[in-house]
């Protein structure tokens, strides 16, 4: 396999690991928020706001990791 082919393979694997991790993280976040809402319905607004902020931070890290994968793919050795 050529080095270019290996670079494409590594970028694809890196991106898939990032997407899997983000999906797992946001799933756990949503499950915890729903559980908190079920236990204390009066705290709905606070829990929702905290969940949205945390999900945005997780998505930001995912975007950063995907950009790194793309940059490494296009890097000239």
- Under DSSP, the state recorded for 75 is -
Question: Tens of pLDDT along 5-52?
Answer: 888 888 889 889 999 999 999 999 999 999 999 999 898 889 999 999
Asked whether the beta carbons of 32 and 75 are under 8 A apart, the reply is no
Q: Residue 77: which pLDDT band, with cuts at 50, 70 and 90?
A: low
Per-domain boundaries in the chain: 3-74
Helix and strand numbers, DSSP H then E, in the chain: 2, 0
Q: May I ask the CATH class of domain 3-74? A: mainly alpha
Which pLDDT value is given to residue 10?
85
Which pLDDT value is given to residue 33?
92
Residues 6+ apart with CB under 8 A from 21: 62
């Amino acid at each position: 396999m050529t080095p270019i082919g290996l670079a494409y393979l590594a970028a694809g694997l890196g991106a898939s690991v990032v997407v899997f991790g983000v999906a797992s993280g946001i799933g756990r976040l949503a499950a915890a928020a729903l559980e908190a809402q079920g236990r204390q319905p009066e705290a709905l607004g606070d829990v929702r706001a905290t969940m949205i902020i945390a999900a945005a931070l997780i998505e930001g890290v995912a975007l950063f990791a995907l950009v790194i994968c793309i940059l490494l793919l296009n890097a000239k050795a």
